[in-house]
Amino acid sequence: MLKKTLTSLALAATLGLAGQAAAQDFTLRATANSNEQDEDYDGLVVFKNYVESASNGAIEVELYIGTQLCSNGAECLQGVADGSIDIFISTSGGAAGIFPYVQVLDLPYLMSDDRVAEHVLSGDFTRTIRDMALEDSGGKIRLMTIGNTGGWRSFANTQKRIQTPADLEGLKIRTVVADLPQELVRALGASPTPIPWPELFTSFQTGVVDGSKNGITDIMNMKFPDAGLQYMTLDQHAYMGALWFMSNDRFMEMPEDLRRVVVDGFYQLQQATFASPKRKSIAAYEEFAAGGGDLYVPTPEEKQAFADAAQPVYDWFQQNVDGGEAAFNALQEAVAAAEEEINAARAADIQ
């Protein structure tokens, strides 16, 4: 009896040590080049909590917010490829140097609202971009999900209310140093002016630029109204997608049950980043208006005029961006399917 008890205790101790070793085997280093007020951080907190709980401690998630592990998209994605970083979130602009076709998310007026965008980014469109990124990275970088980082981009400026594309003519609009946003601004009749983000406040003050295309939370967080940015047209031309990448080697070395936990964790993260900008934008819009800011919502006819003026950008993207045609077609198909399903559901729900 004593021998049997000792054997059982030894077996339990062995299993306990094995469990401890397993817990140490899967530590995920996740980084976001942002801050703790950002949607990216909100998503990571939800991801960390879910994955650590659902894996019963087998997976630990370490968060590195800011530039502790890497300082820009190219450097961070290289870290994902070589395994020094497990998870990284990037805007389309930050990943475009390696995966140029992800700029499809910046094409204007293709997704009409949050419901359509969330439906599209939760389906096969994201899997198509995942397959393209895996192939182009030699199987090293895996796109896990696409969430949101800041709501929608709209035009804001220091000069006047913008109601039609003609109102943009002659204005200097800040863009990032990338071809697609510059093509869009040019198509709408304005002058694209690349300015680094940290220099934008002073550029508004001094008239180096007249406007930009940003989300309301970014505008208020950076206090741009204090620099003269007082007019905002809610054309919502682009959904601010957030691409969450993971080391494919790291993901695939996990057993299937833990891969399922990670996938579900990214679903939880995605839902958190979908919700966060909606809540934060309420106070941001109120603050903008309270400070004397002019908020203008285009009529459906006016918004269609913007979309019509932007048409040449779609052709440019497909002809000049590697993988652009495939990404554009995948997005268009996903949007059409989403609109059909949402409209049918809405029709049924209002009866």
pLDDT digits (tens, 9 = 90+) for 149-200: 999 999 999 999 999 999 999 999 999 888 899 999 999 999 999 999 889 9
Reported as a pLDDT band with limits 50, 70 and 90, residue 18 is very low
Reported as a pLDDT band with limits 50, 70 and 90, residue 35 is confident
Tell me if the domain spanning 26-349 has CATH number 3.90.650.10. no
Spatial neighbors of 218 by CB under 8 A, at least 6 apart, are: 150
pLDDT at 24: 53
pLDDT exceeding 90 applies to what percent of the chain?
87
The answer to whether 217 touches 281, Cβ cutoff 8 Å, is yes
Dig out the tokens for 217 from the structure: 């939370």
Reported as a pLDDT band with limits 50, 70 and 90, residue 37 is confident
pTM of the model: 0.90
Please, what is the average pLDDT of the chain?
92
Sign of the Cα torsion 202, 205, 207, 212 reads positive
> Which amino acid appears at position 7 of this protein?
T
37 or 112: whose pLDDT is higher?
112
> Which amino acid appears at position 121 of this protein?
L
The answer to whether 217 touches 151, Cβ cutoff 8 Å, is yes
pLDDT at 172: 98
